[in-house]
Amino acid sequence: MPRFSEGYEAQDNRTDWSALRARRRWRPPTDVYETDTHVVIKVEIAGMKTEDFTIAFIDRKLSISGCRSDLGDKIIYQNMEIPYGEFHTEVKISWPLKESEISAHYEEGFLFVELPKHSREFKIPIKQVRE
Protein backbone atom coordinates (compact mmCIF):
# COMPACT_ATOMS: atom_id res chain seq x y z
CA MET A 1 0.00 0.00 0.00
CA PRO A 2 1.58 3.38 -0.99
CA ARG A 3 2.32 5.89 1.72
CA PHE A 4 2.11 9.65 1.36
CA SER A 5 4.24 12.18 3.22
CA GLU A 6 1.19 13.65 4.99
CA GLY A 7 0.49 10.33 6.67
CA TYR A 8 -2.43 9.46 4.38
CA GLU A 9 -2.67 5.85 3.24
CA ALA A 10 -4.51 4.94 0.05
CA GLN A 11 -7.22 2.30 0.40
CA ASP A 12 -7.70 -0.50 -2.14
CA ASN A 13 -4.90 0.83 -4.42
CA ARG A 14 -7.04 3.88 -5.28
CA THR A 15 -6.05 7.35 -4.20
CA ASP A 16 -8.66 9.56 -2.57
CA TRP A 17 -7.19 12.78 -4.01
CA SER A 18 -9.65 15.07 -2.27
CA ALA A 19 -8.65 13.71 1.16
CA LEU A 20 -4.96 13.89 0.30
CA ARG A 21 -5.14 17.45 -1.06
CA ALA A 22 -7.25 18.74 1.83
CA ARG A 23 -4.30 18.15 4.17
CA ARG A 24 -1.86 20.33 2.25
CA ARG A 25 -1.70 24.10 2.62
CA TRP A 26 -1.07 25.65 -0.78
CA ARG A 27 0.09 29.03 -2.07
CA PRO A 28 -2.01 30.88 -4.66
CA PRO A 29 -0.27 32.77 -7.50
CA THR A 30 0.72 36.17 -6.10
CA ASP A 31 1.99 39.29 -7.88
CA VAL A 32 3.59 42.28 -6.17
CA TYR A 33 3.89 45.52 -8.09
CA GLU A 34 4.35 49.19 -7.46
CA THR A 35 2.54 52.29 -8.67
CA ASP A 36 3.54 55.88 -7.94
CA THR A 37 1.47 55.86 -4.75
CA HIS A 38 0.95 52.21 -3.71
CA VAL A 39 2.48 48.77 -3.39
CA VAL A 40 -0.14 46.35 -4.69
CA ILE A 41 -0.43 42.66 -3.83
CA LYS A 42 -2.59 40.78 -6.36
CA VAL A 43 -3.62 37.21 -5.51
CA GLU A 44 -5.36 34.94 -8.02
CA ILE A 45 -7.95 33.04 -5.96
CA ALA A 46 -11.30 32.40 -7.66
CA GLY A 47 -14.40 31.05 -5.96
CA MET A 48 -14.07 32.91 -2.67
CA LYS A 49 -16.10 35.42 -0.67
CA THR A 50 -14.57 38.45 1.02
CA GLU A 51 -15.26 36.96 4.46
CA ASP A 52 -13.19 33.85 3.53
CA PHE A 53 -9.91 35.81 3.67
CA THR A 54 -7.73 36.70 6.63
CA ILE A 55 -5.27 39.54 5.94
CA ALA A 56 -2.69 40.76 8.46
CA PHE A 57 0.26 43.14 8.33
CA ILE A 58 2.74 42.30 11.11
CA ASP A 59 6.48 42.98 11.35
CA ARG A 60 6.74 44.26 7.76
CA LYS A 61 5.04 41.12 6.39
CA LEU A 62 1.68 41.00 4.65
CA SER A 63 0.03 37.64 5.30
CA ILE A 64 -3.03 36.40 3.39
CA SER A 65 -4.71 33.12 4.27
CA GLY A 66 -8.04 31.34 4.05
CA CYS A 67 -9.72 28.16 2.92
CA ARG A 68 -11.27 27.45 -0.48
CA SER A 69 -13.87 24.68 -0.37
CA ASP A 70 -14.90 22.44 -3.23
CA LEU A 71 -18.67 22.52 -2.90
CA GLY A 72 -19.48 19.75 -5.35
CA ASP A 73 -19.57 16.07 -4.46
CA LYS A 74 -17.38 14.11 -6.83
CA ILE A 75 -17.21 10.34 -7.03
CA ILE A 76 -14.03 9.96 -9.07
CA TYR A 77 -11.75 12.72 -10.31
CA GLN A 78 -10.43 12.23 -13.82
CA ASN A 79 -8.12 15.22 -13.43
CA MET A 80 -7.62 17.53 -10.44
CA GLU A 81 -5.54 20.67 -10.89
CA ILE A 82 -7.49 23.29 -8.94
CA PRO A 83 -6.25 23.43 -5.35
CA TYR A 84 -8.76 23.43 -2.49
CA GLY A 85 -8.38 23.63 1.24
CA GLU A 86 -6.25 25.96 3.33
CA PHE A 87 -3.97 28.42 1.56
CA HIS A 88 -1.40 30.96 2.69
CA THR A 89 0.81 33.51 0.99
CA GLU A 90 3.18 36.01 2.59
CA VAL A 91 5.01 39.00 1.18
CA LYS A 92 7.82 40.85 2.92
CA ILE A 93 7.43 44.61 2.45
CA SER A 94 10.54 46.78 2.40
CA TRP A 95 8.84 50.07 1.48
CA PRO A 96 7.79 52.60 4.14
CA LEU A 97 3.99 52.50 4.30
CA LYS A 98 1.01 54.32 5.73
CA GLU A 99 -0.12 51.23 7.63
CA SER A 100 -3.40 52.74 8.83
CA GLU A 101 -4.52 53.23 5.19
CA ILE A 102 -4.02 49.66 3.89
CA SER A 103 -7.11 48.49 1.98
CA ALA A 104 -8.26 45.35 0.17
CA HIS A 105 -10.94 44.43 -2.36
CA TYR A 106 -11.93 41.25 -4.18
CA GLU A 107 -13.18 41.24 -7.75
CA GLU A 108 -13.47 38.71 -10.56
CA GLY A 109 -11.35 36.07 -8.81
CA PHE A 110 -8.54 38.38 -7.72
CA LEU A 111 -7.80 39.76 -4.26
CA PHE A 112 -6.10 43.17 -4.35
CA VAL A 113 -4.38 44.55 -1.27
CA GLU A 114 -3.23 48.16 -1.66
CA LEU A 115 -0.54 49.45 0.66
CA PRO A 116 -0.12 53.25 0.42
CA LYS A 117 3.50 54.34 0.23
CA HIS A 118 4.83 56.75 2.79
CA SER A 119 7.21 59.48 1.76
CA ARG A 120 10.84 58.76 2.56
CA GLU A 121 11.41 62.43 3.24
CA PHE A 122 11.26 63.58 6.84
CA LYS A 123 11.68 67.16 7.94
CA ILE A 124 13.05 67.41 11.44
CA PRO A 125 12.28 70.63 13.25
CA ILE A 126 15.10 72.20 15.25
CA LYS A 127 14.18 73.38 18.71
CA GLN A 128 15.72 76.49 20.14
CA VAL A 129 17.55 75.83 23.39
CA ARG A 130 17.87 78.82 25.69
CA GLU A 131 20.86 79.15 27.90
Q: Is residue 129 part of a domain?
A: no
Q: Is residue 39 part of a domain?
A: yes
For 18, the 3-state DSSP assignment is: helix
Instruction: Residue 78: give its domain's CATH number.
Output: 2.60.40.790
pLDDT of the residue at 16: 55
Q: Could you tell me if 52 and 111 are in contact, meaning their C-beta atoms sit under 8 angstroms apart?
A: no
Which pLDDT band holds residue 96 (cuts at 50, 70, 90)? confident
What tens digit of pLDDT does each residue of 34-67 get?
A: 999 999 999 999 999 999 999 999 999 999 999 9
Domains identified in the chain, total number: 1
Q: Is residue 122 part of a domain?
A: no
The parent domain of residue 30 ranges over 25-116
Q: What is the pTM of this model?
A: 0.72
